[in-house]
Amino acid sequence: MRAVLLADTRAAVVEHARRMVADGLVVGTSGNVSCRDGDLVAVTPSGTDYAAMRPADVVVVDLEGRVVDGGLRPTVELPLHLAAYRHHQAGAVVHTHSAAATALSLLRDDVPAVHYQIAMFGGSVAVAPYATYGSEELRDHVSAALTGRTAVLMKHHGTLTTGDGLASAYDRARQLEWLCDVWLRARAVGEPALLEAEEIERVTRRFAGYGQQPGT
Per the residue annotation, which of 15, 77, 137, 201 is the catalytic one? Answer: 77
Nearest to 187 by CA among 112, 124, 119: 112
Is residue 196 part of the annotated active site? The answer reads no
Active site residues: 77
